Amino acid sequence: MSTRQPPKPRPDAAAGKITKASPARAKASAAKPGKRRAVKARSAAEIRALFERFRQHNPEPKGELESVNAYTLLVAVVLSAQATDVGVNKATRPLFAIADTPQKMVALGEDVVRDHVKSIGLFRTKAKNVIALSEQLIAEHGGEVPAEREALEKLPGVGRKTANVVLNMAFGQITHAVDTHVFRIANRLRIAPGKTPLAVEMGLEKAVPDEFGHHAHHWLILHGRYTCKAVKPLCGSCIVADLCDSADKRTG
C-alpha cells in the first residue's frame, strides 16, 4: 500500500463545512453562525450495508505491495512512504530475491540497499532505516518481526500506520491503517468522519463490524485508489453509488 500521508482534510468532507452541493446542511449551518457542525457518522446498519457491498464485489481484497514474509512486508511498507506501490515493487523484487531476512539485509549493507531503492523517494533515509530496523530485529527479537504494536513502533522508520499494516496483513489482527485514501473515503462515506488520521482510525475501530475488520482497510484503499478518487471520483462506475450521499458525488 501507498503510505502517503493523508492530506489536510477538506473542510466540507471532514469538518462539516457547507458546500453548494449540500443546501440542507448549508441551511443548518447558517442557523448557527460561527459554529461548524460535526459530520454525523452513518448508522451501524448503513455501514454494514456498505461493507457487505464491498465484500460482495471483492471477497478477498489484497494489498498491492509485494512481499514474501512478514519481514519483507515490513520493509516494503517502510519503503512505501511517499511512494507508489508499483514503484516500491519494482525496487524490492530484486532486493528481496537476495535479502528476505534481516540477517541477509544487514550482510548486504547500507550502500547496496541504497542502490536498490534509489528510484524511491527519500531513499537515503529509507535505506538507513531498513538496515537499522534489521539490526534491531536481530538484536532484540531474534530476527523475527514482533506482533506487538509497541515493539513495532520502536523500530526505525516504523510509525503507527506501518505497524497497523503489518499487524493486519502479517498477523491477522484487526487494525485500520489510515492512509490518504482511507482518510478520504472514511470521511466521504461518513463511515468514520474525523479531522486527523488518528481520529479516523479510532472511528473505524468503533464503526466497522468485526466480520469486516480484517479486510476493511484494503476495501477502502482500493475504492479510493481506483474509483472514489480525490479530484474526480468515478461515480458512474461506483459500486456504492446508491448508498453514497457525499457532496462530492458526481451525477454528470
Residues engaged in binding ligand SF4 (CB under 6 A): 188-189, 227-228, 233-235, 238, 240-241, 244, 246, 248-249
Shortest separation between residue 161's beta carbon and ligand SF4, angstroms: 22
Alpha-carbon distance values, 214 to 51, 65, 92 (Å): 12, 17, 25
Nearest residue (CB) to ligand SF4, 134 versus 187: 187
Q: Catalytic pick from 17, 179, 195, 248?
A: 179
Nearest residue (CB) to ligand SF4, 61 versus 102: 61
Shortest separation between residue 228's beta carbon and ligand SF4, angstroms: 3
Nearest residue (CB) to ligand SF4, 216 versus 228: 228
Cell of 117: 531503492
User: Number of H helices and number of E strands within the chain?
Assistant: 13, 0
Torsion of Cα atoms, 150 then 67 then 85 then 198, to 10°: -20
Cell of 226: 481506483
Q: Longest C-alpha distance within the chain, in Å?
A: 66
Does 245 participate in catalysis according to the annotation?
no
Q: What angle do CA 49, 54, 58 make, to 5 degrees?
A: 150
Nearest residue (CB) to ligand SF4, 198 versus 234: 234
Torsion of Cα atoms, 235 then 241 then 242 then 245, to 10°: -90
Shortest separation between residue 71's beta carbon and ligand SF4, angstroms: 36
Shortest separation between residue 12's beta carbon and ligand SF4, angstroms: 12
- Rounded Cα distance, 51 and 106, in Å: 42
The helix or strand, by DSSP H or E, that contains position 220, with its residue range, turns out to be helix 216-226
Nearest residue (CB) to ligand SF4, 4 versus 249: 249
Does 126 participate in catalysis according to the annotation?
no
Shortest separation between residue 163's beta carbon and ligand SF4, angstroms: 28
Q: Nearest-CA neighbor of 192 among 168, 167, 209?
A: 209
Q: Catalytic pick from 161, 229, 242, 249?
A: 161
Nearest residue (CB) to ligand SF4, 34 versus 251: 251
Q: Is 46 helix (H, G, I), strand (E, B) or coil?
A: helix
Shortest separation between residue 125's beta carbon and ligand SF4, angstroms: 34
> Cell 453514497 sits at which residue?
244
Residues labelled catalytic: 161, 179
